[in-house]
Structure 1
Amino acid sequence: MVEIFARDLRMGESARWRDGRFWMCDWLAGEVLSFASDGERTVEARFSGLPASIDWLPDGRRVLTTPDGVLVDGEAYADGGFNEVVVDRWGRCWVDMPGSMPWEERRPGVVAVVHPDGATEVVDDDVWFPNGMAIIDETTLVVAESHADRLTAWTIGPDGRATDRRTWAALPEGSAPDGICADASGAVWFASVPLQACVRVASGGAELERVEVDRGAFSCVLGGDDGHTLYVVANRYGQEGASDGVVLTERVSVPAAGPG
């Protein structure tokens, strides 16, 4: 049964699980938030402008993408504004940025990599509204293409190259995958605003599980003490934008891919 974990958010995004706490960005409040298991929240950082996303380097430093660049523990790390970020085992930050906003004429966006020295390299510039990102088995980068209704994958390695681009999962028309996360089986959960749901799919696109919510699902992550809790960041979304954000939870069948 879906339960409310947190209320009174303006526009939640970038769901993460780290060190026994649920983390997220409230885009319109300009806050990075973390939550204890009882829902008590802490403002961990503040930012201005959109979009913003978080992850952590292998040494534990927090990465925050902002419109002005990539910050590590609040210090400038790399230039360029990016939407999402996921960090690989070698400390590289994989980032993306749409080429157009939802209300504009559609143009392809980019997937890029920020190397440990801060240098940024575009690895693909034909990605249709790149959105949520996840890494499976340390070597498969998966990116949600919201405007193409698919999850796209690349093989990555210690050299920072992304090769063998392929469709990881073709999704039904109108799915518009947003935030994603992987589980221990190698399946991927994707959040969908138009479906008002989070859907778990296998490689190839077969639907395995679904959690329906009462508003647009923007991002999701697996966490909790045993990794079986799906946290869903959801907002009402219409012509005036996003509002009335909540974090919802549901117990699911397969746990997170690894410790958070």
Structure 2
Amino acid sequence: MQEYHFNAALAQRYGVDGAVFLHAMAFWVAKNKANGRHFHEGRYWTYNTRKALAELFPFWTQRQLERIVNNLRDAGAVLVGNFSEDKADRTLWYALSNDVLEAYGESADPISPNGEMHFTDPCDPFHQTGKCNKETVTNQLYIPPISPKGGQGGKKKRSPKSVPQWKPERFEKFWAYYPRHEDRVSAVREWDRLRPNDELIDAIARALLWQTKAEDWPAPYACRYLRNQRWLDEPPKPKGQAPRAPAQGLSGWHYEEIDGEKVLVVDEPGD
């Protein structure tokens, strides 16, 4: 038999039914945060169909569920949005308010989820506190598409273009560390197009470590950096370093100093 729990402080504020519903929401929102899923407008969300929700709470009728969700929404305990890729899908998405998150000891700032490699300070832009959570959540808690009061249909809200769909918390750390903060929208577009995995993000971090310290490194816009794969650039050679001598067996060469640098010159036949 499945057990249901609730937060006592939230029960006093929103009733036992509302607290039970919020507790389930908090569990799945935390799952999405751990997996870096469904991040929109600065917070994590969850959603489901009305039928699936009724199966999740078999002791409530669909009308009771509608009343509970409406009361929580009107009280400001949950936020409503629509981030479905399919324009015809009018399923509403829900997130927890800051007050509810605080009741569970969570913060509304999900930029740095625990256990994920992320850019930190200029001394160590690729710090990793632990293994990344690879768990896939296949049984999400979804909220039914309940229409707002007054008979008006819920309008679809699109995620701002300034917030990436792919690993948004990692992008925020990249953006904070990158030396140029211009044209964020284009940078977000390139980040979502690139969809870097953990290994690639680590490579970008290592490259930026020396690039940002190089005196003559012309930092491009972040979008161009990502589009042109500038993390593959090689560090410049120290000035004054003599070029490598040719392979053994090749004769007729010498060094010449040109513009203050030693240059390897191969003698032409007959010289």
TM-score (norm 2): 0.22
TM-score (norm 1): 0.23
Highest Rg: 1 or 2?
2
Richer in strand (by share): 1
